[in-house]
Structure 1
Amino acid sequence: MLRILSDLHIRDAASKIRRLADLEPLLDGVDELWLNGDTCDNQTGLAPADLDEIRAFFIARVPVVRFLTGNHDPDISTVHEASAAEGRLWATHGDVFLDSVVPWSRVRDKIEERVARALQADSALDLTTFEGRIAAMRQACLGFGRECDPERNDPAHRLRRLFTEFFPPRQPLAMLHTWWTFPHRAVTQTRRWRPDARVIVTGHVHFPRVWQRGDYTVINTGAFTGPLGARCVDVFDGHLAVRTITWRRRAWHAGDRVATIALAT
Structure 2
Amino acid sequence: MADPPTDRDHQPEDAARTLVISDLHLGQPGRSPDPQSFATLFRGFDRVVLNGDTAEVQVPELRARASRHLVRLQAVAEAAGAELSLIAGNHDAFLTERRRLTLLGGRVLVTHGDVLHPAVAPWSGSAPALAADTRRRLAAWEAEHGKPPDADARLEIARHVSHGEFLKLRHGDVVSPLRRLLWWSIRPKRFLAVLGFWRTAPARAAAFARQAEPAARVVVVGHSHRAGSWRERGCLVLDTGAFTWPGKPHAVVIEGDRLTFHAVLRRAGGFELDEEVLASYAPEATPAAPAGA
Give the alignment partner of residue 33 of structure 1, picking from 31, 48, 59.
48
Correspondence 1:31-110 to 2 at 5 A = 31-44=46-59, 45=61, 46-47=63-64, 50=68, 53-54=71-72, 56-57=74-75, 60=78, 61-110=80-129
Structure 1 position 149 matched with structure 2 position 165 = no
CA contact (8 A) 1:246 1:255 kept: yes
Alpha-carbon deviation of 1:203?
0.1
Give the match for residue 38 of structure 2: 23
- SS in structure 1 at match of 2:105: coil
Please provide the CA RMSD for this pair: 2.6
Give the match for residue 205 of structure 1: 224
- SS in structure 2 at match of 1:224: coil
Give the match for residue 249 of structure 1: 268
Specify every segment of 5 or more residues in structure 1 that has no aligned partner in the other structure, as ranges: none
Correspondence 1:125-204 to 2 at 5 A = 128-142=149-163, 144-145=166-167, 146=169, 148-149=171-172, 158-204=177-223
CA contact (8 A) 1:11 1:151 kept: no
Alpha-carbon deviation of 1:7?
0.3
CA contact (8 A) 1:6 1:203 kept: yes
* Whole-angstrom CA distance in 2 between matches of 1:183 and 1:139: 23
Alpha-carbon deviation of 1:32?
1.0
Off by >3 Å, runs of 4+ in structure 1: 113-128, 145-148
CA contact (8 A) 2:22 2:222 kept: yes
- SS in structure 2 at match of 1:34: strand
* Whole-angstrom CA distance in 2 between matches of 1:257 and 1:222: 17
Bigger mean CA offset, 71-80 vs 232-241: 232-241
* Whole-angstrom CA distance in 1 between matches of 2:72 and 2:245: 22
- Structure 1 residues 52, 238: CA separation in 2 closer, same or farther (over 3 Å shift)? closer
Equivalent AA in structure 2 for residue 41 of structure 1: E
| Aligned residue pairs, count | 260
TM-score normalized by the length of structure 2: 0.79
Equivalent AA in structure 1 for residue 125 of structure 2: R
CA contact (8 A) 1:90 1:199 kept: yes
Equivalent AA in structure 2 for residue 201 of structure 1: V
Alpha-carbon deviation of 1:58?
5.2
- Structure 1 residues 49, 212: CA separation in 2 closer, same or farther (over 3 Å shift)? closer
Sequence identity percentage: 27
Give the match for residue 24 of structure 2: 8
- Structure 1 residues 164, 192: CA separation in 2 closer, same or farther (over 3 Å shift)? same
Alpha-carbon deviation of 1:247?
1.4
Structure 1 position 219 matched with structure 2 position 238 = yes
- Structure 1 residues 173, 69: CA separation in 2 closer, same or farther (over 3 Å shift)? same
Q: Deviations over 1:112-153 (max 9, x none)?
A: 34435655886658763111111111112226144542898x
Equivalent AA in structure 1 for residue 272 of structure 2: H
Instruction: Report 1 or 2 for greater relative contact order, CA contacts < 8 Å, sequence distance ≥ 6.
Output: 1
Equivalent AA in structure 2 for residue 149 of structure 1: G
* Whole-angstrom CA distance in 1 between matches of 2:31 and 2:277: 23
CA contact (8 A) 1:69 1:79 kept: yes
Give the match for residue 257 of structure 2: 238
